[in-house]
Amino acid sequence: MAQRIGLLTSGGDCPGLNAAIRAVGKAAGETGDMRVIGFMNGFRGLVEDRTMELDDHLLSGIITHGGTILGTSRDKPHSMLIDGKIRDMTETIVKTYKRYHLDALVCIGGGGTQKNALHLKEAGLNVVSLPKTIDNDLAITDRSIGYDTALGIATEAVDRLHSTATSHSRIIVVEVMGHRAGWLALESGMAGGADVILIPEIPYEVETVAQAIRKRAKKGKHFSIVVVAEGAMSRTDASRVEKLVRRKDNARSKADKEEASERLRDFHEGHVNHTIELTRHLEKLAGQESRLTILGHLQRGGTPSALDRSFATWLGTRCIEILKKEQYGVMLALQGTELRAVALAQVAGKKKLVPRNHPLVQAARLVGTEFGD
């Protein structure tokens, strides 16, 4: 009997998702006995029974398209907004899975998706997941779909900002995405020859950054490019967060834990526009006109890079091989030059952050890049 596979994309969209959908669909078609049913808008599609038949016609020509033809959402199976209330929809999802007589569900997504995939595996579904995130922060895998394209976009932005910074003798602060990880800022900053790179893993002192900029000015370099990860933090903020995390982890009562969690949430919500403040500070401390560019969702839009297309195709086709072998409860991870199936439990809830002594950080320091520490 033909194998019936459900497929969804979940979490933030990014370029390369369509290449992965195409690869899963086409490789399944080639087997002659696999049928792929697309579920729309992430896990919500399984709740609302919104599907899309992934026939050959639909899969044609999408490898170059950004976004995802299946739509996406950040909905979690166990905590979904339904009719104005947060509900656990796991049971509904299991019922949909059974009603469609699915043999497996393929989930393409980032950190949140891997946790949700594990949750559904524990609820009894056969799940295989593929890594996707522009943040590059998924544990165990060296690469995730979307990162290469986002890196290219951020690097091009840094390149373009150089000429305007030079012409006006200004400091230009560029905020790049990455959630709580600094990969995108580190690599786009390095590739674009940024003078300062600020990442969450290396808390900074604003005076140290200003000092480096003043030193450049003394040498006749009257402009500076400062690439900042959206999650970067001053030392003061980082120690505040550390204390709250410790308080949450060591909380003796549920109430204490909830309070610490709420404070942490408040901090991160309030931190959203920290680069505005940083830019103002630098202008004052370095005595140089400053401007801020927030790249935001630009980094997630448009055509995928060649690397993201080929990587997504590799992942999608390998996924079909895994499904044929009925190897479930795994995520496909790139390790060196190999794609390996790793247990979801090894990935879910873990983050790959930039180690402070990572060779790339060392290389950036060796060419004079300031990290503000």
Q: Which amino acid is at 238?
A: A
300 binds ligand F6P per the rule CB under 6 A: yes
Restricting to residues 312-371, name those near ligand F6P by CB under 6 A: none
3-class DSSP assignment, residue 328: coil
Q: How many residues bind ligand F6P (CB under 6 A)?
A: 10
224 binds ligand F6P per the rule CB under 6 A: no
Contact letters (x/-) for ligand F6P, 52-91, by CB under 6 A? ----------------------------------------
| Residue from 142, 139, 80 nearest 114 by CA | 139
12 binds ligand F6P per the rule CB under 6 A: yes
131 binds ligand F6P per the rule CB under 6 A: no
- Minimum CB–partner distance for residue 304 and ligand F6P (Å): 15
- Minimum CB–partner distance for residue 147 and ligand F6P (Å): 10
Burial class (CB in 10 A: 0-12, 13-18, 19+), 125: buried
Interface residue with ligand F6P, options 18, 126, 133, 234 (CB under 6 A): 133
| Residue from 5, 21, 13 nearest 313 by CA | 21
42 binds ligand F6P per the rule CB under 6 A: no
Q: Are 8 and 42 in contact (CB under 8 A)?
A: yes
Closer Cβ to ligand F6P, 10 or 51, answer by number: 10
| Residue from 72, 68, 113 nearest 301 by CA | 68
- Minimum CB–partner distance for residue 14 and ligand F6P (Å): 7
Closer Cβ to ligand F6P, 97 or 183, answer by number: 183
Q: Which of 75, 103, 135, 148 is catalytic?
A: 135
What's the rounded Cα separation, in Å, for the pair 83 and 343? 35
3-class DSSP assignment, residue 37: strand
What's the rounded Cα separation, in Å, for the pair 36 and 108? 14
What's the rounded Cα separation, in Å, for the pair 147 and 346? 21
Closer Cβ to ligand F6P, 153 or 206, answer by number: 153
What's the rounded Cα separation, in Å, for the pair 201 and 179? 12
What's the rounded Cα separation, in Å, for the pair 60 and 58? 6
Stretch that binds ligand F6P, among 37-45, 52-60, 88-96, 132-140 (CB under 6 A): 132-140
Closer Cβ to ligand F6P, 12 or 45, answer by number: 12
Reading the block at residue 80, the tokens are 């979904």
Question: Residue 339's beta-bridge partner residues?
Answer: 334
| Sign of the alpha-carbon dihedral angle for 119, 201, 205, 284 | negative
Residue nearest to ligand F6P (CB): 177
Interface residue with ligand F6P, options 103, 135, 201, 283 (CB under 6 A): 135
Restricting to residues 229-268, name those near ligand F6P by CB under 6 A: 230
| Residue from 27, 23, 57, 21 nearest 39 by CA | 21
Whether 103 is catalytic is: no
Contact letters (x/-) for ligand F6P, 172-211, by CB under 6 A? -----xxx--------------------------------
- Catalytic positions, written as ranges: 135
Binding footprint of ligand F6P on the chain (CB under 6 A): 12, 110, 133-135, 177-179, 230, 300
